[in-house]
Amino acid sequence: MSTGSILYDHPGPRARARNAVLSVIFGIALLGLLYWIYTKFDQANQWEPRLWEPFTRSATWTQFILPGLWATLKAAGVGMVLSLAFGIVFSFGRLSDHWWISVPAGAVVEFFRAVPLLLMIFFIFYGVPFLIQGPVTAFWAVVIGLTLYNGSVLAEAFRAGIRSIPSGQSEAAYAIGMRKNQVMRIILLPQAARAMLPIIVSQLVVLLKDTALGYIVAYPELLQRGVNDLSANYGNIIAAAMVIAVIYIVINSLLTWFAGWLDQRSRVRAFRIPRQTGPAATAGATPGGDGTAVEPQG
């Protein structure tokens, strides 16, 4: 049986020819756009060697780019872990049978999804100290803001993934005596995470890029150090922005590749048939005349 969608018709000769022509046209248009951008930057003298020469110095990387990259990865890493934990907990809360759990959990998720992340980071850094009578560092203001916003989005993703699983699986688990928290943790959550992996990865990529909003509280992340601070010293804001953009693209591409590799590996392990050894492997065998096991025929 074909695994392709029955609603998809493979293109015929005319459609393939038309697609080839359109691909060539769009390719030429893209090259034309890139050339136009290049000429405009050239007219503005943005390709001058003096603007790109700072990136050949080790001090540029050790004083600006690498410290900013480390700060970005540190905030993103902690935010990813906390966001995943937040999403799992509140997705379970929204699916609870008790209204006094599901209603507050839903209110928290909807509230933090609605508040702009920039405003949330600003309030945590400047407003929360009045409530706790103590300072909040820029790092934790960024991490908590990222956790609350992205965790709320992930909570909805997990909830959608759990609801997409056929009800027969949970019913079978209840039939053998499993409690609801066991059904959630053992049966539903692993399948939901695998089914919603593209959405989860997309949201984690968004989280990584959203660390740039830490500039509002002077957090020294990659965009702040690699573009603002660097260009203030060398006057090459366009060149700095291009280099930092390439770094962001590489990091996000690696994250997406790792998620794809993890998804493929988990699918292979899920469909792997365990090899039986010991008595179970010869349960259906009958002893032969010389005492050796003989597999049943037919």
pLDDT digit of tens for each residue in the chain (298 aa)?
444 445 556 778 888 889 899 999 999 999 999 999 999 999 989 999 999 999 999 999 999 999 999 999 999 999 999 999 999 999 999 998 889 999 999 999 999 999 999 999 999 999 999 999 899 999 999 999 999 999 999 999 999 888 888 888 888 888 888 888 888 888 888 888 888 888 888 899 999 999 999 989 999 999 999 999 998 889 899 999 999 999 999 999 998 888 888 778 777 665 554 555 555 444 444 444 444 444 444 4
Beta bridge partners of 286: 294
Query: Which residues lie below 8 Å from residue 216, measured CB to CB, with a gap of 6+?
Result: 118, 121, 122, 125
Report domain extents, the chain.
58-269
Q: Is 10 helix (H, G, I), strand (E, B) or coil?
A: coil
Return the CATH superfamily for domain 58-269: MetI-like (1.10.3720.10)
Structure letter (DSSP) for residue 55: G
Task: Give the E-state strand segments of the chain in sequence order.
Answer: 286-287, 293-294
Beta bridge partners of 294: 286
pLDDT value for 298: 44
Q: Is 282 in contact with 295 (CB distance < 8 Å)?
A: no
- Tell me the DSSP string of 80-140: HHHHHHHHHHHHHHHT-S-HHHHHHHHHHHHHHHHS-HHHHHHHHHHTHHHHHTS---HHH
